[in-house]
Amino acid sequence: MQANDRRMLAQFGGSPVRTTPLVTFNDAAGRTLGEEEIAAVTEVIHSGILSSTFGTRGRQLERAFAERMGVAHAVSCSSGTAALHLAVAAVDPEPGDEIITTPISDFGSVIPILMQNAVPVFADVDPRTAQLDPAAVRAAITGRTRAIVAVHLLGAPAPVRELREIADEHGLVLIEDCAQAFLTEPSPGRLAGSYGDIGCFSLQQSKQITAGDGGLVVTSDEVLARRMRLFSDKGWPRDTGERTYLFLGANYRMSELQAAVALAQLGKLDGVIGRRRHQAARFAEAIADLDGVTTAPSGQQHSYWQNPLLLDPAVVGTTLDWGTALRAEGIPCSAPYIPRPLYLVPVLAEGRTYGRSRFPLTSPPARIDHTFVEGMCPAAERLLYQTLLVLAWNENYSDQDVDDIAAAVRKVHTVFAAERAGVPA
């Protein structure tokens, strides 16, 4: 069998590179949970206070995270989506106002916009990075725009310096979705989450550190910090001693149990990200000579929540073909990363918001009747369907694990590149 024969691939009957499953975030072996977390939770249970309203762990976590981020304030909450909801609520948009964001993310980046009766406006992405394209963001601004939500996708930095300039120029609030980007540095020595007016983080099961669920928002603006703290607790100003409700809010409080686990995890964060970066550099070096395959930039910029590859379809085929082939080789990956751009999910494409009203997507309260259709963001669609391949990544991968991933990538590349070059099997 020749090296470029499809039959060498496990998908077509060949022997897979990997027969032992790689560790994942749903395995104890793929997490850093241990005695520190057990001791912290035990202390909370013995205290009898499991609510952060009356306990101390939630406030300890906020102080520790704000210090680690180099900002003045952190507010804890129940999830990463809740963190984004706190941020959008702090913007306080009028019904029908617009908030610009990316079409490539989890829908948690969009839910808070709709829940605050604002309209998500999708700007296209840079085809080389899958991050928001500042030029597309600038073109999407209207008289109703109130904020920009920039997502640091997969742990790589969004262009927050350019977006900061755009936001300041137009009087907009810049929100950073850092759910996948703990310790990402868009520029040396400055962390993702500190460029925007507000930075949002997730402690969900799959994130670099976890409390099962949970979220944190950071800001150096005291007014925004207070409004977010109030919103997370039904608008109740507990610091004044008065039982009243200053505005419509939610109950997004983090429990003391979550905070205890998160505090223990925070102490391990540097090691987690360091190991992810080290193994990503090993992988990038192992496939550096492959034509038509581009790895993510290594170093402090990326925190490798997952490990993306950019494929040149003319040279090596599409992400969908690669995803099928790599999974058959025993390598977990996402191809496409999400099934469709966010504007094509039923919530938006079919207007499934509040009953059959399509509110707030209609005029009024919006400036126009907003519709969401295929072709709105062509660069994002090409990335999802043709060029972006996302490898699962974990801080507990061994050198052998990484070498196996690289070997599978090289194997798939050998066959698909030969086919694109017209080399007969």
The set of catalytic residues is 207
CA dihedral sign, ordered 135, 221, 85, 187: positive
Q: Residue length, the chain?
A: 425
Cα–Cα distance, 329 to 181 (Å, whole number): 28
Q: H/E/C letters for each residue in the chain?
A: CCCCCHHHCHHHCCCCCCCCCCCCCCCHHHCCCCHHHHHHHHHHHHHCCCECCCCCHHHHHHHHHHHHHCCCEEEEECCHHHHHHHHHHHHCCCCCCEEEECCCCCHHHCHHHHHCCCEEEECCECCCCCCECHHHHHHHCCCCEEEEEEECHHHCCCCHHHHHHHHHHHCCEEEEECCCCCCCCCECCECCCCCCCEEEEECECCCCCCCECCEEEEECCHHHHHHHHHHCECCCCHHHCCCCCCCCCCECCCEHHHHHHHHHHHCCHHHHHHHHHHHHHHHHHHCCCCCCEEECCCCCCCCCCEEEEEECHHHHCCHHHHHHHHHHCCCCEECCCCCCCHHHCHHHHCCCCCCCCCCCCCCCCCCCCCCCCCCCCHHHHHHHHHHEEEEECCCCCCHHHHHHHHHHHHHHHHHHHHHHHCCCC
Angle between helices 399-421 and 269-286 (to 10 degrees): 40
Name, in order, each residue with C-beta under 8 angstroms of 38's C-beta and a sequence gap of 6 or more.
none
Structure tokens at 233: 């607790």
